[in-house]
Amino acid sequence: MSVLYDDIFEGLIDGIHAFESGLVNAALYILEDTLIKTDQFYEENGIHHESRINIQMQLAKVYIWLRQFQKAVDILKSALESSPENVPVLYRLFLLYSDAYPNEKMALKVYLRAESVMKENGSLDCNHRIYKNFVTRGEKIKCKRQSFFMFKDDTEEIDKQNLMKQLPIEILSNIFSMLDPKSLINLLLTCKGWRSTILESPHLIGAFTLSRDITFKKLQSYLRLFDQKVSTSEIILDKLSIAFNSRDELPLMKLLLSSGLRSKSLNIEIREAIQPQICTLIKESKPLLFTQQTHLSITIEKEAQSISFVDNILPMMTNLQTLYISFRNLSSPKQKSSSPLIDLPRLRFLNIKNEGKHDQVERFVSALTIHNVESLTIDTRSTNIFLKCIRTANKLKHLKMRMIPIELFLYDFMIEGRPGYERVKELETLEFDTCPSSVDHIFGPRVQFKEFNNLRVLKFRNSQITVTTIEAFFKTCKKSLKELDVLEKSLLSYKGSNTNNNGTFSLKNVLETCTGLEELHITDNKINSSNFTQIAFDIAMLTRPMKLNCLELSNSSIPSSSYIVLFLSIKTKLTIKRMIIHQQNPDVQLISFSEELKRSKVVGEFCFI
């Protein structure tokens, strides 16, 4: 007995000496081994070794140093099982919940337990400094959380009178969805009945949205409310926004990560250089807020070095499904560095926007692997960003480009023999928004284009389109196209138009070439009354009757008389389920003609906008 007894005492001394000398791992090994010996001592003698609690407290210090906070909590709780009224152990656990592993509610519970022990036994079992500090800090938390006692005392009475508990959770969720975040917080603060119902359900608490202007104190007060009945680690908010633009960001991030709070959608705004400690904190703790996140939106403004923050968090977000990332007016970095390879295997939707300099963005995009992305939106003037981003996207079904020359897409992805075709051959939707025309890519009549057999939707919005370009697209997708949008500022030419084109491409061509077309939207501001009459003539000259689900063919400046000519053409050649007309105040004659078309079942529904 004496040998084992002495070994345990010496192990405690050696562990303390190793820890104070900076040999933390050695201290961990010695103390864990010594703790096992105390169990052996108990089995042999039926009593605990007098140094056991000191070993457990010292081991808790080592765990805290190694940031293994949960192990520290477990070892201190184990010490309390054998000595439930040990105030120094309660104080150590209180400090852990107050500082290193913040959980204010648990800290308050530990203090209340210690308070009852100290009132019953006095403060003689701990020194005066511990007693004074314990009471000072405990009372401070107690004052902060008066709502905890109000809620705790009134819960049973509230539950008896609370009619809200009789409503299905789906109805309550719908009610919450109609309230703004500020109203939801006010509801939680002022109404005991609602508070009781909300705080019992992680699903209902999830309806709350934390905005990007949230401060440390605001987040702290929200967490005090949220965790009164349900642990914050069980709560998944609908949306959480974080803005890195103040000195308060480090304590805010520490509090947020330690709470275990998660969200369905995470929005991050970076306007200044991020403190390196934040990157280290996230990288080491790997919180569920990032590792289990599925929807992420990031905006980086001015500070190019902040891309390294994105490089740090994205590799751990292997569950990410939707990513929106925007770069605005980035500064030139002091030191150019390459981004580490980032693989996002579950990513399905990617939206990248860049305004201003693009060197750093190109390096970031080059490191991105997006094999399974199905929907890609690129908004940039840099063709390199577009080409580097799409290089690993092998399963694209929906592609939207903004500011990229349309002819560049034709040249790199649609010409026979070009390797880019394999990446986009399964496209179902292709959209060009505010895309210029490029004089660098001119196609002769002998150029052979690959066919897009799956392309269903083709949209040109606010884009410059030449007749040669649009004819090239129709050659590739005429068999599969279901919807065509040509909206504003297009150079789409019609027979008899006053453009410089030869007028070989007409609406008649579109309708007869694309045999499966179901929706047609042409609202070109360049269409005048003469063009509009020619369009009506094209419809009248169709060689066979056709059916459309939707026809939008108008200009807000076209007079009603031109529409009447169009209606007469439609009556003989087209059957339309829904027709959209850009006339906010249609006259009586236009309305009467539209009603006649509805009665004759030529048009199912008219929509004047």
Could you tell me the residue ranges of all domains in the chain?
A: 1-155, 216-396
Give the mean pLDDT of 517-527: 79
How does residue 188 score in pLDDT terms, banded at 50, 70 and 90?
low
pLDDT digits (tens, 9 = 90+) for 257-293: 888 888 888 888 887 777 778 888 887 777 888 888 9
CA distance 366 to 391: 9
- Fold of the domain built from segment(s) 1-155: 1.25.40
Whether the CB-CB separation of 383 and 409 falls below 8 Å is answered with no
pLDDT digits (tens, 9 = 90+) for 443-499: 555 667 778 888 999 998 888 777 777 778 887 888 889 998 876 544 444 443 334
How does residue 384 score in pLDDT terms, banded at 50, 70 and 90?
confident
What b/e string do you get for 271-292 counting C-beta neighbours within 10 Å, with b at 16 or more? Answer: eeebeeebbebbeebebebbbe
First-to-last CA distance in the chain? 94
Look at residues 394, 398, 375 and name the one whose alpha carbon lies nearest to residue 455: 398
Give the predicted TM-score (pTM) of the model: 0.67
Highest mean pLDDT among 221-225, 344-348, 571-575: 344-348
How does residue 589 score in pLDDT terms, banded at 50, 70 and 90?
confident
CA distance 110 to 123: 16
How does residue 397 score in pLDDT terms, banded at 50, 70 and 90?
very high
Give Cα separations from 441 to 286, 409, 413, 444, 486 (angstroms).
Answer: 48, 10, 13, 10, 22
Whether the CB-CB separation of 209 and 239 falls below 8 Å is answered with yes
The DSSP secondary structure of 506-562, one letter per residue, reads -HHHHHHH-TT--EEEEE-TT--HHHHHHHHHHHHT-SS-EEEEEEEE--TTS-HHH
pLDDT digits (tens, 9 = 90+) for 571-580: 888 999 999 8
CA distance 521 to 487: 7
Q: Which listed CATH number (3.30.70, 3.80.10, 3.90.1750, 2.30.110) goes with 216-396? A: 3.80.10
Identical fold for domains 1-155 and 216-396, yes or no, is no
